[in-house]
Structure 1
């Protein structure tokens, strides 16, 4: 090689080395793995336990900190005859760390079990796989949809109505189907269910989690025209938009939510269609008022009744409301699967147009366009 060629090559190599050092120090979301146990069984090492210890050690010594993400889900097991919720890793042997390659190698001196994914080639260079901030945010959103799910959807027995059908899933009556014949009120404090057309039992004796809703009553006698109050329904929707934009609830929106509770909170719905309308309004009101206990109870009821709702528009109303109130990627996808085909109809009904608009609003407000 000539002297001139060497002179020209040195600056290029110097720049390449500078870029390499910068790349090693750039903070990104890298993917690390943990080993699995022999024989294909997953090890019981917690992906976050060692990282928590390392973070505490670095914080005490004033060293560089890092952020990590180890998504989890809720698993239900029976322990001593009772259902117990436990947290399990969603991606068991993967953990995401926001740090630089240099810092991660430094961390591996004390935590050697954590390993990078194999390098990948990009032109003449190689690098460890990483996610962009936007990709990581989307992954966290999807993971939240699963980690926040209630694994056992138990319809609040107080919201079961005469004519509803349930299936007993465990206990003495496991496998049997029953029809609700008496609900609380009028001197009765228990939900009475008829089994085998001859045996009546209080449903409260069937513990929560030991029955599932399989059919809603569709033969109610009353129709509540004031459930179609556009002022309240549109007001709730607009209030949720302001809440998603600011994270707070204005005084006028609080008043509106309380008016909805006064109007619908004690209303007796006798059909699946009416229940979908009432529950969608109540869930939005509870969300705005921050009434977490009521919100969670009604959320479990709506999730539990969702498989039994057959009418497409009622089902779409539940799904759009669930998405708007929980920001769940699961319910967003289910809502779009049902609502999107309506967009190509020549003249969709007003109720369909409303749901199309609301779903688009939630996508925009929650930034999932």
Structure 2
């Protein structure tokens, strides 16, 4: 009866030793939501260039599940671990709207996306904006200059876990949010 009242929430999790594909298969088999930020990488195999979809940050995945369902699955699998906030020690739980924004951008597998650790960016220096056109229309983030890019980019961040900088967006397609 208790599981009936629980709502599904997004957890930031780790699958140790690069086992995020195994974790994804297991979670899908258990009918739990899962998202791993991926991007295409070119590598050389047997003298040929091969383009493969690989995780952006190894061991990182996001799980959408009821707490009791996740606890049950986690008890069967030792390599699946919660990511905790270093200050409070609490499990990192991501609000639905923040996660949907992140998935809308990171789920495109766009080659021009840049990923950052939270400590690499000072989001307080940026301006809160909304994209009004193009591939990322309707997305909100912080407009900021990032290393590795010539111009300023719109950043969508998950507090304390990961941030993604969108491809270059023409300034005419950006509006400032008050």
1:110 equivalent in structure 2? 76
Unaligned runs of 5+ in 1: 1-20, 37-42, 59-64, 152-239, 246-306, 308-327, 337-355
Residue 24 of structure 2, aligned match among 34, 48, 51: 51
Aligned residue number for residue 149 of structure 1: 111
**What TM-score, normalized by structure 2, do the two folds share?**
0.57
Corresponding residue number in structure 2 for 1:331: 168
Q: Which residue of 2 aligns with 1:128?
A: 91
Please state which structure has a larger fraction of its residues in helix.
Answer: 1
Name the structure where strand makes up a greater proportion of residues.
2
Helix, strand or coil: the match of 1:77?
Answer: strand
- Residue 68 of structure 1 pairs with residue 41 of structure 2: no
Cα deviation, 1:104-148, whole Å, max 9, x if unaligned, reads 1101122221011236777xxx74211111211222233235x23
Given the superposition, is the C-alpha separation of residues 48 and 85 from structure 1 closer, same or farther in structure 2, using an over 3 Å criterion? same
1:129-208 to 2 correspondence within 5 Å? 129-144=92-107, 147-149=109-111
Summarize the Cα distance change of 1:150–1:127 in structure 2 as closer, same or farther, 3 Å threshold.
closer
Task: Specify whether residues 111 and 51 from structure 1 end up closer, same or farther in structure 2 by C-alpha distance, changes over 3 A only.
Answer: farther
Structure 1 residue 94 displacement after superposition: 1.0
Distance 2:110 2:87 in 1: 37
* Count of residues in correspondence between the two structures: 132
Residue 34 of structure 1 and its aligned partner are, at CA, apart by 1.8
1:299-310 aligned at under 5 Å gives the runs none
Match of 2:13 in 1: 32
Residues 26 and 121 from structure 1, CA distance in 2 versus in 1: closer, same or farther, beyond 3 angstroms?
farther
When Rg is computed on C-alpha atoms for both structures, the one with the higher figure is: 1
The alignment partner of 1:91 has SS state of coil
Partners of 1:120 and 1:102 in 2: CA distance: 24
Q: TM-score, normalised by structure 1?
A: 0.30
Give me the whole-angstrom Cα distance separating, in 2, the residues matched to 1:30 and 1:54.
13
**Dislocated runs of 4+, deviation >3 Å:** 119-122
Change (3 A) 1:55 1:140: closer
Per-residue deviation, 1:33: 0.8
Other structure's SS at 2:104 match: helix
Give deviations 1:142-191, integer Å, cap 9, x for gaps. Answer: 3235x23289xxxxxxxxxxxxxxxxxxxxxxxxxxxxxxxxxxxxxxxx
Offset from partner CA, 1:193-215 (integer Å, 9 cap, x none): xxxxxxxxxxxxxxxxxxxxxxx
Alignment check: 8 A CA contact 1:120 1:129 kept: no
> What is the alpha-carbon distance in structure 1 between the residues aligned to residue 107 and residue 66 of structure 2?
25
- Alpha-carbon separation, structure 2, partners of 1:86 and 1:66: 25
> Aligned equivalents of 1:54 and 1:95: distance in 2?
11
CA RMSD across the alignment = 3.9
Alignment of 1:145-294 (within 5 A): 147-149=109-111
**Can you give the 5+ residue segments of structure 2 that lack an aligned partner in the other structure?**
114-132, 139-149, 151-164
